Amino acid sequence: MKYLDEYRDPEWARRLAGMIAETATRRWVVMEVCGGQTHTLMRYGIDEMVGGQVELVHGPGCPVCVTPVEVVDKAVAIAGRLGVIFVSYGDMLRVPGTRSDLYRVKAEGGDVRVVYSPMDAVELARRNPERRVVFFGIGFETTAPGNAMAVWKARREGLTNFSMLASHVLVPPAIDMILASPGNRVQGFIGPGHVCTVTGYADYEGLAAKYRTPIVVGGFEPVDLLEAILMLVRQLEQGRCEVENQYARSVKRLGNAAAQKVVAEVFEVADRPWRGIGTIPRSGLRIRQEYVPWDAERVYEVEDIGGPEPEGCISAEVLQGRKKPEECAEFGRGCTPAHPLGAPMVSSEGACAAFYLYRRRTGFGSAA
């Protein structure tokens, strides 16, 4: 636990918070992009520790949260078909679609199963040759290599009873969209450490230069995030706009070449819709033409399925950092983890779930 405990050291965290207070001459607006970072910031009360110097806003970095309603509707449609074993990560089961969700499909007799790896779904297809197995492949660049490998493996083994409903999105186009939006307030970004472990951070350098906005790739422990905030504040105070790497123990500038290779083999860049936000050009991945027999969207002909966002849900504004979850009229009332209106209240990385869990817990180390 040595290499984990040192990044949760309360004394070092307080020293970093003090350095942030000493460095900042004004209050800066900083956005963390990753949902895992959001939960750490809320769990340990880091937003309150630095609140006098830095306003933290939460970006579209939760993979479950940005999966659009229309994709959930496609999943529901496929999961309800006879002979299908629909396989998903647990967070996705309760994400609401237009009229239903995967949990309800399961309750009504559909064969919906939870796995922890896309290769578990491939193994299901091997063991059940008479059934059709569909894996719900969502996420950012972090999960794309594993999902790509599952499709590649299925093709290599001739598992024609396996397919994937893919909904992958990319972080840099989302940052571009936020910075280009009228009324944008974000002055610096904590970059997503897990994503950059795969992709590296070279692609972020153009964004930092184009919008004159510093980006610091950050880790996920309290000390990681406080150090990343300090690095951003120093850049902002000095008028610099560079990409820096706080998470150097895991991230290299050019990322993981082997992971990038398998992603490029199976997927290609495409326009993608984001939940509540709409379509962002070239912001996602789709399965390449040569892998069409393993593309569930085309195998089951559900391309045109989809509906509107639920009324009263402000997830789009939360995901773009325009509003905090507590500003939603339905927060904690009409929208709770047990009865969510939108995905950010369901996911273990969602901003609304983080606010719901930790909003009454303040101070470093106060949460379990």
Q: Where are the domains of the chain?
A: 64-170+258-299
Does the pLDDT value for residue 185 go beyond 70?
yes
Residue 315, pLDDT score: 83
Residue 365, pLDDT score: 44
What's the CA gap between 228 and 188, in Å, rounded?
A: 10
Residue 159, pLDDT score: 97
Tell me the CATH number of domain 64-170+258-299, given options 2.40.160.40, 3.40.50.11740, 3.50.50.60, 3.40.50.740. Answer: 3.40.50.11740
* Torsion angle in degrees (nearest 10) through CA of 288, 82, 306, 271: -10
Share of the chain above pLDDT 90, in %: 75
Does the pLDDT value for residue 49 go beyond 70?
yes
Q: Which residue in the block uniquely carries the two structure tokens 């951070």?
A: 201
What's the CA gap between 312 and 66, in Å, rounded?
A: 17
Does the pLDDT value for residue 364 go beyond 50?
no
What's the CA gap between 150 and 183, in Å, rounded?
A: 42
Strands (E), 140-224: 162-169, 188-192, 215-218
Q: Indicate the burial class of 309 (C-beta count within 10 angstroms; 0-12, 13-18, 19 or more).
A: middle
Residue 3, pLDDT score: 62
Does the pLDDT value for residue 186 go beyond 90?
yes
CB-CB contact of 338 with 90 (8 Å): no
What's the CA gap between 203 and 253, in Å, rounded?
A: 9
Does the pLDDT value for residue 70 go beyond 80?
yes
* pLDDT tens by residue, 269-317: 999 999 878 899 999 999 999 999 999 999 999 988 767 777 778 888 8
Contacts of 33 (CB under 8 A, 6+ apart): 59, 60, 61, 171, 174, 175, 189, 190, 191, 192, 195
The greatest distance separating any two alpha carbons of the chain, rounded to the nearest whole angstrom, comes to 66
Residue 183, pLDDT score: 84
* pLDDT tens by residue, 255-264: 999 999 999 9
Q: Which two tokens stand for residue 183?
A: 């009324």
| Phi and psi angles of residue 58, each rounded to the nearest 5 degrees, phi first | -110, 130
This prediction has a pTM of 0.91
H or E element in which residue 318 lies: helix 315-319
CB-CB contact of 56 with 41 (8 Å): yes
Share of the chain above pLDDT 70, in %: 96
Q: Which two tokens stand for residue 301?
A: 């002909």
Does the pLDDT value for residue 107 go beyond 60?
yes
Kindly calculate the radius of gyration of the chain based on its CA atoms and give it in whole angstroms: 21
Q: Calculate mean pLDDT across residues 347-364.
A: 74
| Phi and psi angles of residue 84, each rounded to the nearest 5 degrees, phi first | -100, 130
Give me the DSSP letters along 232-271. HHHHHHHT---EEES-TTT--TT--HHHHHHHHHHEEEEE
Mean pLDDT of the chain: 92
DSSP state for residue 293 in the 8-state scheme: G
What's the CA gap between 18 and 234, in Å, rounded?
A: 13
Number of helical H runs and strand E runs in the chain:
17, 11
CB-CB contact of 218 with 242 (8 Å): no
